[in-house]
Amino acid sequence: MGIFSLFNKKGGKKEDRSTEKSSSKKTRSQSGNTVITGFQNSEIFSNSVIAQRHVARATERKIDAIEFEMSRDIVKTRPPARHKPDLATNTQQETSSELSADTQPLTVHTDAPAFASTMPMTMPADYLLGQNTEIPRAALAYSESVPVLEEAAILFASGQTEVAEQMLDAAVHHQQLGPATEIGWQMLFDLYRITNNQYKFESLSLDYANKFETSPPLWPEDQNDEQQEKVAGNVATPSIIFPNRLDNGIVKVLAKMREASAKTDTLRLDFSRVKEVDPVGCGLLLRSLKNLRKTRHDLMLVGAQDLAEKIRAILQVGRRDETEAPWLLLLEILQLLHFQNAFEEASIDYCITFEVSPPSFEAPKMNVTSAFPELLNADDDLPSDRFMMPAVVESSVDPLIKDIAEKAAHQSVLIIDCSKLKRVEFSASAELLSGLAPIVSKPGKSIRFEEVNYLVMMLFNAMGLKNIASISLRKH
């Protein structure tokens, strides 16, 4: 019995040890699983952080690439230095000789005839020309067969004012324009009015009087008043108008802003048309605003507070987006507006989101003022059936088309007053054509452009806008 009891005890001890071994194995396996699971979770988290960093770096590289292209384009398209009078004369003579040889010095020259030839010309002359013009209808119709006039209008619309001036000057002095001769002279007069060059305008007036033996056009009196206001500093501030989307499409606008900032110490930035924002556009605008702060440019901000609200709408506390640019742009605008309380609240949200110390408020050292957005057609003296066009039509014309459509909805004939219109950008003219076509396609609806200058008239003819609307030239 003793032996069996001893064996029983040994057997019992073996069972206990095997139980302990199995339990210890389970414990080690459970702990091992816990370590593996924790490692996997940490690995997933680190991978997500790395992915976010890759996206942020890609966005920053995209902004850097766009800025690089902007800088390179500015160098390429920088206007040439002003020549002395004798050099300018030589340049004009060279230009005239090139034109007389039927050469094509610019790429726009090759595109213009092909584009114009696709435009149908079936509208009656009485409908197209209106009544407020001293130029015979036959001369206006003939001008369509003079490519140099259309090309000059397209060059002016594309911002190449100096080339357009040289082309028109050579055309009126050295070419046979036939019945369109008067139109060529009036286009050059308009160019000098728009560029506010009274000296060249009066010199051209003398040439006009000698050639036609009649009284030349007079320099408008209100032009002198405008010049005096510019000297006083009331109108001298260049206005930079941003389009309805703040994205990588603002490159051209920022390029104009850089050019203007090199010529003046004060800029007017108009954000009233901005409806949507995206991170790339925020990054581009942020860098431009920081540069203006470094150069101590005085700023007049229009619609900046609304822009800040639109940026705030795409942000979420705790959510790290592809770049910090929208947050930093929001903080920059709040500083420029001197909104310290709003800045501190936004900086705390930024701190929580990106786990960084909150930036401190730094009041701008230059003069920054804010203004209310200007309405395009806010003229109380205009009759209810008229729509006032702005001085310049460029970039996206969607807001302008929308305003015209709302005005046209209440009347059968909409008169678009172009007395203040100086220039329509080439690409904007195509958008204007496609935007107005659906309006006039409705039964009983028509549009009439009145007081159009000769440069814009010739551009409208080239683009085919005359086929959907009546165009009436300004009076001399």
Mean pLDDT across 387-405: 88
pLDDT of residue 158: 92
Mean pLDDT across 231-238: 54
Mean pLDDT across 2-31: 48
pLDDT of residue 44: 52
Least reliable range by pLDDT among 15-24, 68-77, 185-194, 248-257: 15-24
Confidence of residue 136 (pLDDT cuts 50, 70, 90): low
Task: Calculate helix-pair angle for 454-463, 107-117, nearest 10 degrees.
Answer: 60
Does the pLDDT of residue 452 top 90, yes or no?
yes
pLDDT of residue 237: 77
Does the pLDDT of residue 379 top 80, yes or no?
no
pLDDT of residue 238: 87
For the chain, the domains span: 196-236, 239-371, 386-473
pLDDT: which is higher, 120 or 80: 80
The CA distance from 113 to 151, in Å, is 9
Using an 8 Å Cβ cutoff, are 447 and 385 in contact? no
Does the pLDDT of residue 258 top 80, yes or no?
yes
pLDDT: which is higher, 123 or 306: 306
Residue with tokens 């060249």: 200
CATH of 386-473, picked from 3.30.70.20, 3.40.50.10420, 3.40.50.80, 3.30.750.24, is 3.30.750.24
Does the pLDDT of residue 84 top 50, yes or no?
no
pLDDT of residue 228: 45
Does the pLDDT of residue 43 top 70, yes or no?
no
Using an 8 Å Cβ cutoff, are 254 and 285 in contact? yes
Q: What percent of the chain has pLDDT over 90?
A: 39
Does the pLDDT of residue 53 top 60, yes or no?
no
Mean pLDDT across 62-70: 64
pLDDT: which is higher, 235 or 291: 291
Pair of tokens at residue 75: 């160098």
Mean pLDDT across 133-147: 58
The rounded radius of gyration (Å) of the Cα atoms in the chain is 34
Single-letter code of the amino acid located at 22? S
CA distances from 342 to 151, 212, 303, 331, 386 (A): 52, 66, 17, 9, 42
pLDDT of residue 14: 44
Residue with tokens 């206001």: 229
pLDDT of residue 397: 87
Does the pLDDT of residue 298 top 70, yes or no?
yes
pLDDT of residue 437: 92
Using an 8 Å Cβ cutoff, are 142 and 179 in contact? yes
pTM over 0.75: no
pLDDT of residue 382: 45
For 286-297, write each residue's pLDDT tens digit.
999 999 999 999
